[in-house]
Amino acid sequence: MKGKVVVSAFLTNLFSLGRASAVTIFPFIFVQNKILAKDEDLMNHERIHIAQALELLVFPFYVLYCMEFLVRLVYYRKVEEAYLNISFEREAYAKQSDPYYLLTRKIWSFKKYYR
């Protein structure tokens, strides 16, 4: 399951509140433009979110994602820092440059990035 890539600045801005180059709304990866759609690290980052969403049966992934964001926002009081410290994001950023990561990744690996 690699996700279906949709190139649309409008939908990417809509789903990321205008904040991201790409956003994954399972099973779709929305990306701002065709050049970014060829960015291997960015696409790998989003595919890691596809794997995380799938192993949590999709909806609970988004619930947990939002809950962790809100808890971290209270803690850090900065949107960017709260976002970067979500376990799902920490795993995706840590492994986005490894093109083989998703081939060997174990289920619920995001738990290792919780702190």
Interaction site with Zn ion (CB under 5 A): 89, 92
Q: Which is nearer to Zn ion, 8 or 21 (CB)?
A: 21
- Measured between alpha carbons, how far is 23 from 6 in angstroms, rounded to an integer? 10
- Minimum CB–partner distance for residue 107 and Zn ion (Å): 19
- Measured between alpha carbons, how far is 37 from 71 in angstroms, rounded to an integer? 31
Q: Which is nearer to Zn ion, 68 or 89 (CB)?
A: 89
- Minimum CB–partner distance for residue 16 and Zn ion (Å): 10
Minimal CB distance to Zn ion: which residue?
92
Pairing mode, strands 28-31 and 22-25: antiparallel
15, 25 contact by CB (below 8 A) = yes
Q: Which is nearer to Zn ion, 43 or 92 (CB)?
A: 92
- Minimum CB–partner distance for residue 34 and Zn ion (Å): 20
- Measured between alpha carbons, how far is 112 from 114 in angstroms, rounded to an integer? 6
